[in-house]
Amino acid sequence: MCGILAVLGCIDNSQAKRSRIIELSRRLRHRGPDWSGLHCHQDCYLAHQRLAIVDPTSGDQPLYNEDKTVVVTVNGEIYNHKQLREKLTSHQFRTGSDCEVIAHLNKTSKLHFSVNHFLSFPDVVHVHLYYHFLINMSAGELRRWYNPPWYSEHIPSTPYDPLVLREAFEKAVIKRLMTDVPFGVLLSGGLDSSLVASVASRYMLQSEAACQWGSQLHTFCIGLKGSPDLKAAREVANYLGTRHHEFHFTVQEGLDALEEVIYHTETYDVTTIRASTPMFLMSRKIKSLGVKMVLSGEGSDEIFGGYLYFHKAPNKEEFHQETCRKIKALHLYDCLRANKSTSAWGVEARVPFLDKEFINIAMSIDPEWKMVRPDLGRIEKWVLRNAFDDDQKPYLPKHILYRQKEQFSDGVGYSWIDGLKDHANEHVTDAMLMNASFVYPENTPTTKEGYYYRAIFEKFFPKNAARSTVPGGPSIACSTAKAVEWDAAWSKNPDPSGRAALGVHECAYEEAVDEKNANLINGTTTAI
The two most distant CA atoms of the chain are separated, in Å, by: 78
- DSSP code string of 268-299: --HHHHHHHHHHHHHHHHHHHTT--EEE--TT
Rounded distance between C-alpha atoms, residue 311 and residue 373, angstroms: 8
| All residues at 6 or more sequence positions from 308 whose CB lies less than 8 Å from its CB, including other chains | 380, 404, 405, 477, 498, 501, 504, 505
Amino acid at 66: E
Rounded distance between C-alpha atoms, residue 461 and residue 465, angstroms: 9
| All residues at 6 or more sequence positions from 385 whose CB lies less than 8 Å from its CB, including other chains | 191, 379, 401, 402
Amino acid at 127: V
Rounded distance between C-alpha atoms, residue 125 and residue 299, angstroms: 9
324 is catalytic: no
Q: Among candidates 225, 232, 200, which has minimal Cα distance to 213?
A: 200
The strands making up 293-295's β-sheet, listed across from edge to edge, are: 243-248, 218-223, 183-186, 293-295, 348-350
Rounded distance between C-alpha atoms, residue 329 and residue 53, angstroms: 27
Bridge partners of 48, per DSSP, are 4, 37
Which residue pairs from 516-519 have beta carbons closer than 8 angstroms and sit at least 24 positions apart in sequence?
Answer: 517/433, 517/446, 517/447, 517/448, 518/492, 518/494
Amino acid at 405: K
Amino acid at 135: I
Judge whether 25 is annotated as a binding position: no
Judge whether 295 is annotated as a binding position: no
| β-pairing verdict for 218-223 and 243-248 | parallel
Judge whether 222 is annotated as a binding position: yes
Judge whether 296 is annotated as a binding position: yes
Judge whether 186 is annotated as a binding position: yes
| Catalytic position from the list 2, 44, 221, 335 | 2
| All residues at 6 or more sequence positions from 492 whose CB lies less than 8 Å from its CB, including other chains | 511, 515, 518
Residues placed in the known binding site for ATP: 186, 222, 296-297
Query: Would you list which residues are annotated within the binding site for L-glutamine?
Result: 98
Q: Which residues are annotated as a binding site?
A: 98, 186, 222, 296-297
Active site positions, annotated: 2
